[in-house]
Every structure is written in structure tokens, then in C-alpha cells.
Amino acid sequence: MGLNNQWMQRDLAVLWHPCTQMKDHEQLPLIPIKRGEGVWLEDFEGKRYLDAVSSWWVNVFGHANPRINQRIKDQVDQLEHVILAGFSHQPVIELSERLVKMTPEGLTRCFYADNGSSCIEVALKMSFHYWLNRGQSNKKRFVTLTNSYHGETMAAMSVGDVPLFTETYKALLLDTIKVPSPDCYLRPEGMSWEQHSRTMFAAMEQTLAENHETVAAVIVEPLIQGAGGMRMYHPVYLKLLREACDRYGVHLIHDEIAVGFGRTGTMFACEQAGIRPDFLCLSKALTGGYLPLAACVTTDEVYSAFYDDYPTLRAFLHSHSYTGNPLACAAALATLDIFEEDNVIENNKALAQRMASSTAHLVDHPHVSEVRQTGMVLAIEMVQDKASKTAYPWQERRGLKVFQHALERGALLRPLGSVVYFLPPYVITPEQIDFLAIVASEGIDIATSNKVSVAVPKDFHPGFRDPG
């Protein structure tokens, strides 16, 4: 029995893995990773895998980055953790100062959580509580986009709309208002991204006109709906939404947990629309992929609604044990140093262009309906019929075939259903991007070589599929 198999057997005896049907591992080997370096992950038998999905979209500057490593090592000798209620520490203060400085003007207060879903919960609670403190207790509903994903805690699921994650728990979820997504994959033939996004905004305008008196906030994933299949839309939608939220007296929450920190081509996606949300939710790449940390950055206007004498009971009584953990904050500070010192956003433009050119041939593939890209995210949508964009039945798990082929070739590509995507660390080289394109092309050829064997109706958003 090899070392990988030994570790796999020990794992399967005691672990329950996330986003996984554990019975799959009766046929699909689990891969235990011993070490990482740069874009590479290495198993216990020495085989390497290029991490094309940044280990669930978190790792931006590579595994075992020496600059982040050293910052954490230095911090652990000083202070590993302290309660953040009534106490503070240097890393969290410095991180907050830097986030306030680098986010859009007017975002002045940082509230910390442990992960993305928890950060969304903070923003939703804070928005509702703001209106309550302002005497508008009727404003307690939230508006979200179809095909959206904001996490897997209860309120976060409530504002999501990917049935794979929400259908089972719908009896437990909040009553939210769903508005059709501006997803440009669905645009009519010949219509531009901008025109389609403008057209789709009419539904949001009508929803706010009719419901603003009871709506606390609108929440969106700006520019890219990640878990919904890397579906993308034009920044004009965000600009129109900001104007409408101001007009109707509704908060705007930007979930930039997956798309913040350079992923869309700018440091934050909201910059491309020239706007400032009322709540900016950040996590994942915040610590360079090292440690759990999230920040909900908001305005003095929101903060002031909670600032009062204790007997008024207006304080925001929300907490996590590891809120603002010093080690995580140290990792975040090192990550921001790299952004600042290495001209990352500008350098990514060349990498993004290489991603586009290396996959350009797939536009003509008979079973690829679209190759779309926003910044350092590129998605390739496999379909059974190119002309009609008829999706493959989710039961056939075509993306799994791409995943398995990529592992054999030494790459970690984890498709979202039939959507193959690249979301690599920013330290990837042009040659490594070319390698990923070759592997993805091979995998797509294999995955689409067989005819459809399951009869299901056409559906752009399959209710159930392989999670990413």
C-alpha cells in the first residue's frame, strides 16, 4: 500500500469532507497533500498538481510564500490571540487602517468575522439592525439576484439562489426577494454585455419601486457569480443599482469575498463601476489563502446608528471567538504588502491576456458555448448543443471527467458542473497557463466525446450538479 493510499484510508475512517458525496470516494481516490510551493501542491508520493483554482479561490501569492510565512512566524512569537472585546492589538489596528485607506472613500469602519459566510451574516444583521435603530422596523427583507451564492450559513443561504445548496434547507430560510440576474451568458444574439445588463436592470428597478419600504438591503456578487457557474455581467449594472439604492433608501451590500483583491482586474470589483457599497464583505484572498479571516467594511453613517449610551441597547452584539485573530491579521498585512510592493494588479493584466490567448481556440469547439473572462477569472462552458446553448444533463457529471483527466496530468481543475474555469494564483507563469489550457482542452474533448445518455429538459441553471 502506497503512502497516498495509507493516508487516504486513515482520512476516510474519520473525516467527513465538505461539498462531497462521500460515497464517490469508493471510486474516486482522495488525494492527501504533503506540501505546497508556489502554484504547486505535492502529494505523499511526490506527484505535483498545479493549483488552478487557488485552493477554493483563496491563494493569491502561492503556497508557502516566504514573505507571508515570515510575518506569521514573527507574530506567533509576540501574540497568538486575544479577545477583541475591550482589548485590541497592533495587527488588527494596522490592517483596519490599511483596509479603510484602500477601499472606496467613505468606507471607514471594519468589523471582523472568521469566514465569508459569517461576514455575510454580519452585513445582513447590521443592515437590518441599522434600520431598526433608526425607527424603521418594517425594513427587514433582502433583495438578491437569481443564481447567486453568498455562503452556507442560514441567512447567507437565504440570499443565495443555487438550488444545489439551498433546496434542501428552504423550510429554514428567510423570505427574500429574487430578481433576475444580469448574467450575460443569457443575452440575446448580437446584444452587448452592457446593453444586456442595462436591460436586465429594469426588473431590479421595479422590485425596489414596489418594495423599498420593507427592504433593508440589496446584496450582489459584483461582476461574477462564482458558484453559480462563473457567470458574468457588465459594471453598468452596479452603477445603476447604486443609484437606485440611493433613490429608494436601501442599503447596498457587495459580496467581494471571491472577487476582491485583484481577481476582476481591479483591487475591488466595485471600482469598475466607480461606486461605493454600504457594506463591502471581504475574505478568502484577504490573508493570501493562509488563515480564516473576513472583514465587513462599512460607513460612519451605519456605525453612528449603533453608537449610543449602553441602556439604549443599540450596540451590535455580534461576536466570534477568533474575531480579528492576530496571526490572521499578520498574514493579511503581509498579503497587502505584496500587492503594494509588487505591482500585482498591473502584472495580472499580462497574465489575464495569456489566459485569453491560450484558450481562444476553444471558442470554435463544437461543445463549448462560451469562453468568458473577467480579469483573472476565465470560464469555459460545455454544452451538448452549441447553437441553442442546451446544457448537458447534470446527472452525467461531465465536469468530473475534466477533473479526473486534469489530476492525471498534474493539475487541480475543479469544474462547476459543466463549467471549466481557471482562477489561479497570481504567481502563475505564462507557460503554466499554457499547460492548463492544454490540459483543459484535452479534458473537454474527453468529457464531450460521448452522446447524451440522460433525457432531461433544457435548463440554463440545473437544479443540482457537481459543486465547485
Can you tell me the distance from the alpha carbon of 441 to that of 411, in angstroms, rounded to the nearest whole number? Answer: 13
Contacting residues for 190 by C-beta, under 8 A, at least 6 apart: none
Please, are residues 330 and 72 in contact by the beta-carbon 8 Å criterion?
Answer: yes
- Which of 324, 331, 260 is CA-nearest to residue 64? 331
> DSSP secondary-structure letter at 393?
P
Can you tell me the distance from the alpha carbon of 58 to that of 242, in angstroms, rounded to the nearest whole number? Answer: 28
Question: Which cell numbers in the block locate residue 342?
Answer: 509588487
Count of helix runs (H) and strand runs (E) in the chain = 14, 16
Can you tell me the distance from the alpha carbon of 132 to that of 110, in angstroms, rounded to the nearest whole number? Answer: 21
Q: Which residues are annotated as a binding site?
A: 56, 116-117, 149, 255, 284, 319-321, 414
Q: Which residues are annotated as a binding site for pyridoxal 5'-phosphate?
A: 116-117, 255, 320-321
Return left, alpha or beta for 118; rule: phi > 0 is left, psi -120 to 50 is alpha, else beta: alpha
Q: Which residues are annotated as a binding site for substrate?
A: 56, 149, 284, 319, 414
Backbone phi, then psi, for 35, in 5-degree steps?
-155, 165
Burial zone of 271 (CB within 10 Å; 0-12 exposed, 13-18 middle, 19+ buried):
middle
